Structure 1
């Protein structure tokens, strides 16, 4: 099995083409093992060259709400009164540490996303 590191964009594209040809390989076969190794190399290359930014806190909350069919009322135990939930979702109020902990625990929203906050500027 001749495998080399992915160092260039051309190496990356070539490896993706090869992975495409191996997608139907059975696990435990030589082709399946090659697919596993190449996928690992591509993942490492992409992590370095195409890093993904975490969503901000409000986007993470809205995503989880959509994903789990949650309503504003479902967030009250984690955030506080209904008006406070609306303020957070409108970016008029930042999350507190207590809110971050509760959202993380209750809804499995990654804490890394919850601490990534953008608050709307106040109107003059």
Structure 2
């Protein structure tokens, strides 16, 4: 089937994300060859994420720490995406993630949106 393969490692995962992201601008019609490919790739990506990111899911701040420690990301990269003070405040549980921050981080770091939308506690009152 159209160069689709199992996702065994992070390189395979990155390849699949790149392939499926081409369909985001114009999602293919269901039942077409591109539609079938999109559906299969999306299923493979979801399965890979469920198996490899499951330990980090539940607490968005833990997911960010996991990305920094285990996925080759850095706090400086996070700061470049959302702002230096904001990155520090989020990682220290002082400030909550906003929807716009979640969108940016998920797009740039290929993190599933569901990994950053869970509720979590802040270390001190924000506001």
Task: Return the alpha-carbon distance in structure 2 between the equivalents of residues 120 and 79 of structure 1.
Answer: 20
Matches within 5 A, 1:5-44: none
In structure 1, the residue matched to 2:78 is 75
Structure 1: gaps (5+ residues): 1-51
- Max Rg structure: 1
Structure having the larger proportion of residues in helix: 1
TM-score (norm. length: structure 2)? 0.49
Q: 1:90-120: CA deviations, max 9, x gaps?
A: 1110111110001100111211120113122
In the TM superposition, structure 1's runs of 4+ consecutive aligned residues that sit over 3 Å from their partners are none
Q: Which residue number corresponds to residue 58 of structure 1?
A: 61
How many residue pairs were aligned?
Answer: 72
Task: Give the TM-score, by structure 1 length.
Answer: 0.50
**SS state at 1:120 partner:** coil
Superposition CA RMSD, Å: 2.5
How many Å apart are 1:53 and its aligned residue?
8.6
Give the corresponding residue for 1:120: 123
Corresponding position: 1:100 with 2:116: no
Q: Which runs of 5+ in 2 are unaligned?
A: 1-54
Contact 2:56/2:62 (8 A) holds in 1: no
- 1:48-74 deviations in whole A, cap 9, x for unaligned? xxxx89331101111111122222111
Which of 111, 121, 124 pairs up with 1:109? Answer: 111
Q: Distance in 2 between the 1:121 and 1:114 partners? A: 19
